[in-house]
Amino acid sequence: MPCYASCRSAAHSPDEFAEEAVALREQGFQGYKIQVFGGDPVFAADCLRKTRKAVDDKFPIMFDTNSQLSLTDALTFGKEADELNAFWLEEPCDESNLYAYQELSRRLKTPILAGETSRLSEMRNFLSTGALGYARGDVLIKCGVTGMIKLAHTCELFGYNLEMHTANTPILDVANLHVACSIRNTTFLENHHPIFRFGLANNPLEIDSQGWVHVPQAPGLGIVLDRDWIGAHTM
């Protein structure tokens, strides 16, 4: 499964995002996601603009505003994202505001990625009303592996991709990798900072030189617990 790298900090300056994107691209990652807090569309646009300038026009740049923009600000920033060829705009507004997601999906070229914090039963509201461009999910919030497979097939029937979220928890994220590799309507697996790959003796979430991760071939999830590490970190 090809991987994009989520930014290693949410406290970057625009220049630091740009520098990190270049460094992670050189490591082999096939995309880069900027994540910002604070709900400032001007700052968000500056981060995206400088990062796009630092990498080529075709390198995928995702953008996550953590549900902190108003609809007005999301439209303002979204127009910048359109011009700068963002791959997706993730969680721009509070996910309970379905109207905002419908308007953004209708008025912007950049696909809106939605559903990360919504329960499995709530995803039909996004899918049936055209309130997203890509669906979002993981095994933690979407009722496990079975729930994610149900969601993937439902998204496929509606004509949507289901893009895999990872949650900084290695066993769950290996399960997300298995789901991603078992469906066809997905593009990338999210890859977080290596600090979150704790407690495993093998590292199936490590990318190869081409930016791919590989499903482990051992039984079950294919993980090997690092029992020494677990023992050393158990109270």
Q: What is the pLDDT of residue 45?
A: 97
Q: HSE on the CB side for 149, CA within 13 Å?
A: 8
End-to-end Cα separation, the chain, in angstroms: 36
d(CA 170, CA 224): 11
Q: Please tell me the class of the 3-232 domain.
A: alpha beta
d(CA 139, CA 162): 12
pTM for the whole structure: 0.95
Total count of residues recorded for the chain: 235
Q: What is the pLDDT of residue 235?
A: 82
Q: What is the pLDDT along the chain (235 residues), one digit of tens a residue?
A: 999 999 998 789 999 999 999 999 999 999 999 999 989 999 999 999 999 999 999 999 999 999 999 999 999 999 999 999 999 999 999 999 999 999 999 999 999 999 999 999 999 999 999 999 999 999 999 999 999 999 999 999 999 999 999 988 999 999 999 999 999 999 999 999 999 989 999 889 999 999 999 999 999 999 999 999 999 999 8
The domains of the chain are located at: 3-232
Q: What is the pLDDT of residue 226?
A: 95
Q: What 3 state SS string does the chain have? A: CEEEEECCCCCCCHHHHHHHHHHHHHHCCCCEEEECCCCCHHHHHHHHHHHHHHCCCCCCEEEECCCCCCHHHHHHHHHHHHHCCCCEEECCCCCCCHHHHHHHHHHCCCCEEECCCCCHHHHHHHHHHCCCCEEEECCCCCCHHHHHHHHHHHHHHHCCCEEECCCCCHHHHHHHHHHHHHCCCCCCEEECCHHHCCCECCCCCCCCCCCECCCCCCCCCCCCECHHHHHHCCC
